[in-house]
């Protein structure tokens, strides 16, 4: 982490008494957002701004002009640690390069802040466990930005599975496939720690699978660099092994036309969800969260039964504002629920097992501490 923690923090007025400060009824939660790149600008700032209980007060960014153009009433600091420890902040949101997640989260928790970390949680399982333990000791909220739990595609498939539309699921396939044949000059595609498609899209794929099926027994994975000039993995394929069930998670940068977002086979039939959620495209187009048509998905489910008959079911609407609404609700309750932090640790366990599998060419069992086991 950059030095200067004391001077930067003092410049924004860090008070020792802020540690452990509770929220008063009706009080808006003061938010500091660290990072105003793609994720911070596209997702976090608009979604935070759409939740009445949250008040974005401070942004940490090396591009202050960009922040001020979008958010003229918000203060800007070039020092990320100062934002993480600022007295004027109750909740710190970390949307910085992946190798900075753990040190910034650790600084924020030490200063008594609630914390949201963009995915991936950390670079490895040991860091994730350490942060979860720190949040538990301090009674602070710690959540990872698993916003894809509120995507229309996932919500629609989850409902159909829960309703038993295709019977007991035996094969579950989830894809994040895109067509970006040119390697771009950005840290996510560079050779540094935490780069590559598995760290970028793998957390969403794994989190959704674990929400549906809990922790697997074993993980097998392959990672590859398929595009000319690729410096990090741009193709990932992982299989999660459960008794009587296989979950396939796939991400690629060379899939023109895409693939079905979900393909699920059960004992009574199959379902297909072709197109992905549109909220990211809406945000990029400047649509405000909650505007007319927000999260609406015209692409319904195809449900095939044993006789070959195809039924169609409308897709549920997505709404990623629910992530930050849940964060605000959790901060308002005492004591803070630590379930989400443990779920993030479980996701990290699967991500790390996949990396080890790809490196060794073997199927890898999951190691879990007693408090990380599924309920």
Of 111, 116, 75, 114, the residue nearest 93 (C-alpha): 116
Express each pLDDT in 70-82 by its tens digit.
999 999 999 999 9
Express each pLDDT in 214-228 by its tens digit.
999 999 999 999 999
pLDDT greater than 80 at residue 97: yes
pLDDT greater than 80 at residue 371: no
Q: Give a three-class secondary structure readout of 4-40.
A: CHHHHHHHCCCCHHHCCCCCCCCCCEEEEEECCCHHH
350 band by pLDDT with thresholds 50, 70 and 90:
very high
pLDDT greater than 70 at residue 84: yes
Express each pLDDT in 102-116 by its tens digit.
999 999 999 999 999
Q: What is the pLDDT of residue 334?
A: 87
Phi–psi pair at 18, nearest 5 degrees: -70, -20
Average pLDDT of the residues in 318-336: 96
Q: Do residues 192 and 100 touch, judged by C-beta distance below 8 A?
A: no
Q: Do residues 156 and 262 touch, judged by C-beta distance below 8 A?
A: no
Cα–Cα distance, 263 to 171 (Å, whole number):
8
Q: What is the pLDDT of residue 258?
A: 82
Express each pLDDT in 158-201 by its tens digit.
999 999 999 999 999 999 999 999 999 988 899 988 999 999 99
pLDDT greater than 50 at residue 142: yes
370 band by pLDDT with thresholds 50, 70 and 90:
low
Cα–Cα distance, 270 to 275 (Å, whole number):
16
Lowest mean pLDDT segment, chosen from 7-16, 43-52, 204-213, 283-292: 7-16
Q: What is the pLDDT of residue 268?
A: 97
4 band by pLDDT with thresholds 50, 70 and 90:
very low
Express each pLDDT in 280-309 by its tens digit.
999 999 999 999 999 999 999 999 998 889
Using DSSP, state whether 336 is helix, strand or coil: coil
Q: What is the pLDDT of residue 353?
A: 97
Q: Is the peptide bond before 102 cis (omega within 30 degrees of 0)?
A: no
Cα distances (Å, whole numbers) of residue 318 to 38, 286, 296 = 20, 17, 7
Strands (E), 61-197: 75-77, 91-94, 114-117, 142-144, 169-177
Burial string for 82-120 (b: 16+ CB within 10 Å, else e) reads: bbbbbbebbbbbbbbbbebbbbbbbbbbebbbbbbbbbb
* Both tokens assigned to 285: 């187009």
Average pLDDT of the residues in 35-44: 97
Average pLDDT of the residues in 141-153: 98
Q: Is the pTM of this model over 0.85?
A: yes
Average pLDDT of the residues in 115-134: 97
Scan for tokens 């950005």, then name that residue.
186
């Amino acid at each position: 982490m950059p030095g200067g923690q004391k001077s930067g923090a003092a410049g924004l007025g860090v008070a020792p008494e802020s540690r452990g400060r509770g929220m008063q009824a009706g009080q808006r939660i003061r938010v500091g957002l660290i990072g105003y790149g793609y994720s911070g600008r596209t997702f976090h700032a608009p979604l935070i701004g759409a939740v009445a209980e949250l008040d974005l007060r401070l942004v940490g960014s090396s591009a202050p002009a960009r922040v001020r153009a979008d958010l003229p009433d918000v203060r800007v600091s070039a020092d990320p640690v100062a934002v993480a420890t600022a007295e004027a902040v109750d909740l710190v949101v970390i949307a910085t390069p992946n190798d900075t997640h753990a040190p910034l989260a650790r600084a924020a928790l030490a200063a008594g802040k609630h914390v949201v970390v963009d995915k991936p949680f950390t670079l490895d399982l040991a860091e994730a466990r350490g942060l979860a333990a720190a949040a538990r000791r301090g009674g602070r909220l710690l959540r990872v930005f698993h916003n894809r739990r509120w995507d229309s595609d996932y919500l629609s498939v989850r409902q159909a599975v829960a309703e038993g539309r295709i019977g007991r699921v035996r094969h579950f396939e989830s894809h994040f496939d895109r067509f970006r044949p040119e390697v771009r000059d950005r840290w996510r595609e560079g050779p540094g720690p935490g780069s590559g498609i598995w760290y970028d899209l793998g957390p969403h794929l794994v989190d959704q699978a674990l929400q549906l099926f809990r922790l697997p027994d074993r993980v097998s994975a392959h990672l590859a660099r398929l595009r000319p000039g690729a410096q990090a993995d741009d193709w990932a394929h992982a299989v999660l092994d459960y008794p009587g069930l296989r979950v396939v998670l796939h991400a690629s940068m060379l899939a023109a036309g895409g693939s079905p977002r979900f393909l699920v086979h059960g004992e009574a039939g199959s379902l297909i969800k072709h197109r992905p959620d549109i909220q990211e495209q809406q945000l990029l187009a400047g649509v405000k969260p909650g505007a007319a048509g927000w999260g609406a998905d015209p692409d319904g489910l195809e449900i095939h039964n044993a006789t070959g008959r195809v039924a169609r079911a409308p897709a549920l609407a997505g709404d990623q504002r629910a992530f930050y609404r849940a964060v605000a609700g959790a901060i308002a309750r005492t004591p803070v629920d630590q379930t989400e932090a443990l779920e993030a640790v479980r996701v990290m366990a699967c991500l790390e097992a996949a990396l080890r599998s790809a490196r060794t060419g073997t199927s890898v069992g999951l190691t879990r501490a007693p408090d990380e086991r599924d309920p």
